[in-house]
Chains A and B, each alone.
Chain A
Amino acid sequence: MPPQITRLLLVTVAIVVAYFTARHFLVPASFGQYGWYRADALKDYQLLPINYAGQAACADCHEEVIKKRAKAKHRSIACETCHGPLYAHANDPTVKPAKVGNGNFCVRCHEAAPARPEKFPQVVLADHNPGQKCTECHAPHLPTEAP
């Protein structure tokens, strides 16, 4: 065989061997056990701290709020969407949940934006009773009523 072909074959074999050696060391051992991902990632996720308690945990103690909210369009929004993660509070009620915004939290969803559907309630905060907090006129759990 001509020397240049022999040498190229050797280089090719070296590249292939290098690839599979790199693969041996770089691909995690549990990769492909269940699918196209690292199976050990599931264990890693299980070890992550739990932050959210879920709607049912809130209803255990705050049933009156849930009932009030059931009359409002906000009924489809989970408690922790606005109140944040409440797992610690649900386990130990002495742990106070974080305060929701500063009274103008509503504009996160209700500030006027062209990207929002026209029928969705929207206000321009600068024009809509400026200087006042939303919660002065709207009860957060039933916004059509005063607090």
Chain B
Amino acid sequence: MIALLMAHKEASAELLQHVQGFIYPNELNLLWSVLIVLYPYLTGLVAGAFIMASLERVFNVKSLKPIYRLSMLTSLAFLLVAPLPLLGHLGHPERCYEVMMTPHATSPMAIFGFVYAWYLMAVLLLELWFDYRKDFVEWSQTAAGWKRPLYSLLTLGVRDVSEKALRLDDKMGRIITIIGIPSAFLLHGYVGFIFGSVKANPWWGTVLMPIIFIFSAMVSGIALLMFLYLVTCWLRKVTVDMTCLETIGKCLLTALVVDFSVEALDWIHRLYVADESLDVLVLLASGKLYYSLFLVQMFLGMLVPALCLAAMIVYKEGWKRRQTAYFVCSLLVLIGILAMRWNVVIGGQLFSKSLRGFTTYKLELVGQEGLLMAILLVLLPFVIVSVMIWLFLPRAEMTGTTRAIDD
């Protein structure tokens, strides 16, 4: 115990050296760590991937058909991991069920539990089930080994694949997607709401926060699908459907422009209103967050991919080079949005409520909320989606109706 206290004292002394100006004593250590950065990041990827799937299903963007199921599976895989950063952050993760057992209407996290459950059970699982039902019935008869009882179980005992039943499946899938779009907005808008409703924190407390979160979610979700589609095609040695890729690229560019506009609007509004917190926020952006905000989020994560994607609409030469460029763009956007979450969550805790000073955040390597845990939680959904692709996305489905432009 004494050793622990001494270690804490030493750690605090080290942090104190990096404190600038005046902060209140309880502001030295950040309460929300890197895991809370991952929480909106992963939820955003879920919502973004689902909205991408809805483009094909509801808005009939047929060129996106090759990634419809990939979008749904990605959304599910990331949704399964999304609450884990929260659990890792809790001092007593084994008590997490209590928030669902005795939910209070004034608790944003309790309501988030129900929004999450609704999105998982009433939207994603249901839509996937209707979409896959015919395949489950077929695979439960043709698959070998342990996969056969698995697919059989997933049919839930309904083996009717008559034309009438399949028409109903399609209709139900469409209805659920229509319900799913506002649900996806609600899911991620809610995460933005949690930050936006902290009125004591000027970095977070803005009504634009849910909107910013929704558009950044769309940006990251589209980029993730672009990344996963390319990687899956390359690993499976399947021809990339360039029409599909081009459409994803255009969607990504549109989402990036809208996201940039909303964030710019937020800054213009802050600068024009110029309330008492503006000085510290400008110091924060130009100081502690300089690299993560201007270099990573704005330049590498937004400007470079936006220019690159815009250029690819004009110049249409060399499909191999285009694929590489799309891959790099998707990666940059994914890193940029991660930086955006970092800037929101960590940035919002770096300045004192006195608006007169800054504390610092030291990311630990190991431990419950360390860097290794964060890396593990980022990699975990990719492992889950790989297993899902292996189980539920046959190689033949990856190819679309159109082939590469100059293949």
Contacts and interface: CB of A to CB of B under 8 A. Distances in A.
Interface of A: 2-5, 7-8, 11, 15, 22-23, 26-27, 31-32, 36, 113-116
Contacts of A7: 156-158
B109 interface: no
B313 interface: no
A114 B121 contact: no
Interface in B1-56: 16, 19, 21-25, 27-28
B156 A11 contact: yes
Contact of A2 (B16, B19, B165): B165
Most buried by A among B16, B101, B129, B168: B101
Interface string B84-124: 00000000000001100110100000000000000001000
A4 B28 contact: no
Contacts of A31: 102
6 contacts: A2-B165, A4-B130, A4-B165, A22-B97, A36-B102, A114-B22
Contacts of B259: none
Given A2-B165, A4-B169, A27 B158 contact: no
A27 B160 contact: no
Contact of A4 (B16, B19, B160): B160
A32 B102 CA distance: 9
Contacts of A8: 126, 129, 156
A114 B156 contact: no
Nearest to A11: B156
Interface in B266-314: none
Contacts of B357: 114
Given A4-B169, A115-B16, A115-B22, 16 more contacts: A2-B165, A3-B158, A4-B130, A4-B158, A4-B160, A4-B165, A4-B172, A7-B158, A26-B101, A27-B101, A31-B102, A36-B104, A113-B16, A114-B21, A115-B23, A115-B27
A4 B101 contact: no
Contacts of B25: 115-116
A121 to B, nearest CB: 16
Interface in B127-184: 129-130, 133, 156-158, 160, 165, 168-169, 172
A36 B106 CA distance: 11
Nearest to A22: B101
A70 to B, nearest CB: 27
A115 B19 contact: yes
A3 B172 CA distance: 13
Contacts of A4: 130, 133, 156, 158, 160, 165, 168-169, 172
B101 A23 contact: yes
B157 A114 contact: no
A48 B6 CA distance: 28
Nearest to B27: A115
A23 B97 CA distance: 10
B22 A26 contact: no
Contacts of A5: 168
Contacts of B21: 114
A59 B193 CA distance: 52
A3 B169 CA distance: 11
A2 B169 CA distance: 10
Contacts of A15: 121
B170 to A, nearest CB: 12
Contacts of A23: 101
B94 to A, nearest CB: 12
A27 B157 contact: no
Contacts of A27: 101-102
Contacts of A2: 160, 165, 168
Contacts of B133: 4
A3 B28 contact: no
Nearest to A36: B104
B139 to A, nearest CB: 17
B68 to A, nearest CB: 20
Contacts of B28: 115
Interface in B233-275: none
Contacts of A26: 97-98, 101
Interface in B332-372: 357
A115 B130 CA distance: 59
B24 A115 contact: yes
B299 to A, nearest CB: 33
Given A4-B160, A8-B126, A15-B121, A114 B16 contact: yes
Contacts of A113: 16
Identify the interface centre among A4, A7, A26: most chain B CB within 10 Å of its CB: A4
The 8 residue pairs across chains A and B that have the minimum distance between CB atoms: A4-B158, A3-B158, A7-B156, A115-B25, A26-B101, A7-B158, A114-B19, A115-B23
B330 to A, nearest CB: 36
A8 B300 CA distance: 46
Contacts of B27: 115
A7 B101 CA distance: 26
Nearest to B133: A4
Nearest to B23: A115
A26 B130 CA distance: 33
